[in-house]
Each structure stands twice: as structure tokens, then as C-alpha cells.
Amino acid sequence: MAATNSQTLLLLPGDGIGPEVTEEARRVAAHVAPDLAIEEAYFGGVSYDNFGTPLTDAVMDRAHKVDAILMGAVGGPQWDSVPRDKRPEAGLLRIRKELDVYANLRPAFCFPALAGASALKPELVEGLDIMIVRELTSGVYFGQPKMIEQLPNGERRGVDTQSYTTSEIRRVAARAFELARGRTGRTGRFPGVLSCEKSNVMDSGLLWREEVTKLHAEKYSDVKLDHMLADATAMHLVRAPKDINVLLADNLFGDILSDEASMLTGSIGMLPSASLGEPGVPGLYEPVHGSAPDIAGKGIANPIAAILSLEMVMRWSLGRADVADRIFAAVGKALEGGARTADIGGSMNTRQMADAILKHL
């Protein structure tokens, strides 16, 4: 979407540390894009408390009409006892599904200054730059039937359904191949797309492998394609992560593997994400981290994932790559200067970390 003077960002701070980190992203946005209109609405648990639903129809309708949506985080123990369809996470699943933002991009990038903060040895993560492409609107989180049922013998049974169609697989795989085309010059073992599933034990995984392979032969034979079982991929991520360029996965495995990858970068508080649909559909952006109720309200959360999610907003939805480059560079310079929150080995609070980044803008 090309940059204009009438672009609108919908901010959905959500719960826990969500409002704290998105407020810092708002400050950065005001500095680098003062013409950007920013609206704000309740979302998640706070929406349930005020309106009896985690996502109102009015907010959903507005989400369809803006240029991009930036979320904080949802959930917390105070909503664990409400009906499942009213929990904060239900609002998150609804907005993803109704916008049909099927391609979730999660970059795992290790800033040079944080190589020592990773859970792995510095030599394994220095220069790390993986793009994880997770299918976001199908699979086991959305498949039906989904229920807990009472059996005649008195036992209970929980049922979740893992389901994928050809088109659901092909469209997200196409995104991964297109991204790999633009990320050339990689020298690792998997320089193109590494697609992972469990085709050895799951029919949906077998279909995934077959359809990705067919699409590759039809349109993307110039991009190297490799396949790996999801559990082996999890092991490879901690053994030789720099081997991987673009990692393609379904909803469940993409969720798990991207959280694992976050620790390669130093902290889950560092990872942004973008969820994209077809052209013209507003992008949905959010930090990978959760609502962290244990530190909510203390002002100590790392705002970098939220600020880098704003960077992705500028790059992928607003057509402002120059602004995105400035934000990314400012984060790197702040880290090089020693700015750190507690999760990456420092003592700065949320506002101080954001101030350190703003200083370089």
C-alpha cells in the first residue's frame, strides 16, 4: 500500500503489558510519522470487562477500514474462568480469521550487540536472520469439531481438529517463496525455503508437503526447497540456526518454533510479527510476546518488539520503507550504546528503553 497523507493505524493495546509497550510504539510513530492518524480501541480482556466480548463488532468493522492494526497482547489469569468464546484469546483468533491475514511473518534477527544475551553460544547466533512464515488462519486452532465432551463411561474427551485445504497451503507457501526470492546470497544449508510438518504421522502434514512441492515445481523452481519434520526442525534451530533462511510452517508448529527462535535473539521481548492477507487487506501487527501479567503495571517490559512491530507496519502496510529503516537502525544503535531492559541483561525501564531508541531518531 503506497504511502499517503491520510493513512490510519488502529492501535489495540489489549491487556497486561500490552498498553505499556504499545504506548512507546505510539511515541515512536508520532516522532517518525507525525501525519499518521492513530485510533485506539479496547481489545481482549479489557474489552470483555467493558462490553462483555473480547472484540466488539464496531472494532472489527473499523479494523477492516484502516490501513494497519498494531496490537499489544491479550489475556491474563483474571479471565481464565470466563466462557472460552469470551476469553481474550477468542478476540485475537476472530480478528485474524475475519481479516484473513493468513501469512504470519516472524523475523528472528539477532542484533550484534545482543549475541551474548542469546541462550546459545555467540558464534551460533552472530549474524542470525531467519524469516519464519507461519500459516495463521487455519489448522488446529480453527478446525472443527473442537470440543470437550462427556463419554458414556464417565470419562471426558478433548477434541481439536487439524485441517488444511490445498488453497490454504499454497497461498502461504507462495508468500514464503516470494520472500526467499528477495533474501538471496544465503550460504547456509537451507538458503531458500525450509518447509516443516509431520508428514510421517499426520495426513495434514503429508498434504502440506505434497502441495508445497507441487507449487515449487510449478512456479518457484528457482528457489531451493527443503523439507524437514517439525521436531527435527526444532532441534536444528538450536544446533545450527544460521543454516535457515525462510522457515515455512503450519499454525501450530509455526507458533511453537517461532517462540523457540525468540530465545536465539536474546529475549522474546525482541520479536515483532506481521500478519498479512491479500492486497488491500489491512495488515495485523503484534509483538510475539504475551501479556506477561507477572510484570504488568511495573513499567519494566521490553518495548522493542512493539517498536519493531511498528517498523514492520511502516514497511509492509504503509509503504514507508525509509521510515522503517530508520526505526530498525535506531534500535540497533540504542543496543550498541548499552541500552537494555532486564530481560536482555540491563536495568532500564520501559520508558527509558524507548527514550534510548528515540534519541537515535
Would you please indicate which residues are annotated as catalytic (active-site) residues?
A: 141, 198, 231, 255, 259
List own/partner pairs for 118-127 with CB under 8 A and 24 or more apart.
118/263, 118/264, 118/265, 118/266, 119/238, 119/263, 119/264, 120/238, 120/241, 120/264, 124/240, 124/241, 124/242, 124/264, 125/241, 125/242, 125/264, 125/265, 127/242
DSSP string computed for 51-108: HSSSS-HHHHHHHHHSSEEEEEE---GGGTTS-GGGSHHHHHHHHHHHHT--EEEEEE
- Ramachandran region, residue 87 (left: φ > 0; alpha: ψ -120 to 50; beta: rest): beta
CA atoms within 13 A on the CB side of 238: 11
Q: What separation in angstroms does the CA of 306 have from each of 72, 105, 285?
A: 7, 14, 9
Residue 204 near residue 164 (C-beta atoms within 8 A)? yes
What DSSP string describes 96-134?
A: HHHHT--EEEEEEE--GGGGGGSSS-HHHHTT-EEEEEE
